């Protein structure tokens, strides 16, 4: 993001007396005129659009009575890098359209005020309903002892561990609360509240993102199940609104053909650019062979063996929302 202003130029010399109309035009006349127009334009300050846009979003956030997103207490993005990151993500998610970004930001603040996702992290959920269904794993470059090194964050949804549709998906609000708690747990690993490097308008250069894996191995429930359909639809709606530009890539592994209906729902709520990050795979053991966007972390070595890596399983290495 550049805040450089155009350098002031020396005023042009007085214009010579006009040449009579009947006189032939000088061969350099058009060049002189073009240079004068260029010089005049260079003296006109150009607005720093990214900064102006961020300030508009900050004004919207400041006027709202909920002050926080993803653990960041919002402040002036001109001086507070964590807020700059959060607000820039909303701009990037809407291709720089301030009006759309402002609308999404407002909806997020409204939702966070009502849902209180930071409190959901502290909540204990039913082990019978959600135990073993979701994990967060962190893979630092160079091993667990390199805490300041580059790292990759994964959220895992292991839907093959669902024992009963009615038990897990029967109470929609409870399922969404658990799913949000899992996401917020992963977002905390991004350390946004202490970030010191701002992001730009290029979403592909944004390092504050994570990978997601949805595993459908052993899934037996069909698309006709209304509880599953309702849970999928609401999860996609909430996440598309309240968690923009946090996804690097999303892998759907061990996907049975009957689950293809989920992609139809996603296309209704998720931007086309985001849909391109989705990768369905019939064999989860091939996950470790993926490039993962050229990650510097040797994920092929670190991922669980069930997914083609050489690392510990999710139950051993992963963290999940508290259950009992």
Residue pLDDT, tens place only, 45-98 = 334 456 789 999 999 999 999 999 999 999 999 999 999 999 999 999 999 999
With 0.85 as the threshold, say if the pTM is over it. no
Is residue 189's pLDDT more than 60? yes
Run of H or E residues at 310: none
Average the pLDDT over 243-255 and give the result.
94
For residue 287, give both structure tokens: 């996950």
Is residue 40's pLDDT more than 70? no
Computed from CA positions of residues 291, 292, 297, 301, in that sequence, does the dihedral angle turn out positive or negative? negative
**Higher-pLDDT residue of 262, 310:** 310
Is residue 261's pLDDT more than 60? no
| Number of DSSP helices (H) and strands (E) in the chain, helices first | 13, 7
Burial class for 234, CB neighbours closer than 10 Å (0-12, 13-18, 19+): middle
Q: What are the backbone angles phi and psi of residue 316, rounded to the nearest 5°?
A: -80, -45
Which long-range contacts does 262-269 make (Cβ < 8 Å, 24+ apart)? 262/232, 265/232, 265/233, 265/236, 266/236, 268/236, 269/236, 269/237, 269/240
Q: In sequence order, what E strands does the chain have?
A: 68-69, 72-73, 134-140, 151-158, 210-215, 247-253, 278-281
Is residue 201's pLDDT more than 70? yes
Q: Please name the residue that has the structure tokens 């400041």.
A: 62
Average the pLDDT over 154-158 and give the result.
97
Output DSSP code: residue 161: G
- 191: phi > 0 → left, psi -120 to 50 → alpha, else beta; which? left
| pLDDT value for 84 | 98
Share of the chain above pLDDT 70, in %: 75
Is residue 1's pLDDT more than 50? no
Q: What is the mean pLDDT of the chain?
A: 84
| pLDDT value for 4 | 39
Beta bridge partners of 323: 125
Is residue 245's pLDDT more than 90? yes
Question: What's the pLDDT band for 147 if we cut at 50, 70, 90?
Answer: low
Average the pLDDT over 273-286 and give the result.
82
Is residue 209's pLDDT more than 80? yes
Cα–Cα distance, 276 to 25 (Å, whole number):
58
Run of H or E residues at 113: helix 98-115
């Amino acid at each position: 993001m550049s805040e450089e202003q155009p350098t002031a130029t020396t005023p042009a010399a007085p214009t010579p007396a006009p040449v009579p109309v009947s006189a032939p035009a000088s061969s350099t006349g058009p060049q002189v005129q073009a240079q004068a127009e260029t010089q005049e334009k260079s003296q006109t300050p150009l607005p720093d659009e990214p900064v102006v846009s961020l300030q508009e979003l900050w004004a919207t956030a400041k006027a709202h009575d909920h002050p926080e997103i993803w653990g960041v207490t919002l402040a002036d993005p001109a001086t507070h890098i964590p807020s700059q990151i959060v607000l820039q993500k909303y701009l990037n998610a809407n291709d720089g359209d301030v009006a759309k970004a402002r609308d999404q930001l407002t909806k997020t603040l409204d939702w966070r005020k009502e849902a209180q996702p930071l409190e959901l992290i502290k909540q204990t959920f039913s082990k019978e309903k959600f135990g073993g269904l979701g994990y967060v794993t962190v893979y630092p470059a160079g091993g667990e002892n390199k805490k300041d090194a580059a790292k990759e964050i994964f959220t895992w949804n292991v839907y093959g561990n669902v024992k009963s549709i009615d038990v897990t998906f029967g109470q929609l609000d409870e399922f969404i609360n658990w799913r949000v708690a899992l996401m917020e747990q992963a977002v905390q690993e991004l350390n946004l509240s202490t970030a010191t490097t701002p992001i730009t308008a290029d979403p592909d250069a944004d390092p504050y993102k994570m990978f997601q894996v949805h595993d459908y191995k052993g899934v037996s429930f069909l698309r006709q199940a209304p509880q599953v359909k309702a849970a999928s639809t609401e999860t996609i709606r909430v996440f598309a609104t309240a968690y923009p530009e946090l996804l690097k890539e999303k892998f759907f592994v061990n996907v049975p053909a009957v689950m293809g209906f989920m992609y139809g729902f996603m296309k209704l709520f998720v931007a086309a650019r985001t849909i391109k990050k989705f990768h369905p795979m019939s064999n989860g053991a091939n996950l470790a062979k993926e490039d993962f966007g050229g990650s510097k972390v040797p994920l092929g070595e670190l991922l669980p063996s069930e997914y083609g890596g050489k690392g510990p399983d999710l139950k051993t290495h992963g963290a999940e929302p508290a259950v009992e």
